[in-house]
Amino acid sequence: MTDSDAKLKRLAARVGQRLLKERRRVVTAESCTGGWIAKALTDIAGSSQWFSEGFVTYSNQSKVQRLGVRRAVLERTGAVSEATVRAMSAGALRRSGAQIAVAVTGIAGPDGAVPGKPVGTVWLGWATRRGGAIRVRTQLKHFRGDRDSVRRKTVRLALQGLLAR
């Protein structure tokens, strides 16, 4: 295990400890990380007590079908946008029994850049459910590095955001 992998595992364990203490469950909605956040969380023994499920919605069609992202949002703002990550995180909560969601969508590279959205552009969203209300917090990042580096940094920030809520 690399030092970077060990750091992600420790971070995921901290997330799990907090969720267990709060008696809350988390759901993931991932695009550019392809399930890596869910993997990091479920690598922790006992995660079944606080991990609900994970959605890997890599295509726009899957974002619409699995998470309820409106086609108009995708057409207007694109898959890599604040509006999309907001809809992904809220949709994951609505379709699960979890109280907390993390969603990510981005351009990991090496291709895929579009005007105004270079490789390394990532939107992250964290949603919480309190009663019937869903509150979403988002963050835009521009990571540097190769595909693996962008994805790894995204996973780390997603986990950190679960602790910062």
Terminal alpha carbon distance of the chain: 29
Q: Which amino acid is at 33?
A: T
Q: Which residues of the chain have pLDDT under 50?
A: none
pLDDT score of 76 = 98
Q: Residue 137 to residues 4, 43, 70, 110, 142: CA-CA distances in angstroms? A: 26, 26, 19, 28, 17
- The tokens describing 96, both together, are 């699960």
The b-or-e profile of 105-134 (16+ CB within 10 A means b, else e) is bbbbbeebeeeebebbbbbbbbbbbeeeeb
pTM of the full structure: 0.97
Whether residue 37 contacts residue 104, with contact meaning beta carbons closer than 8 Å, is answered with yes
Q: Quote the pLDDT of residue 131.
A: 80
Give residue 1's pLDDT.
Answer: 79
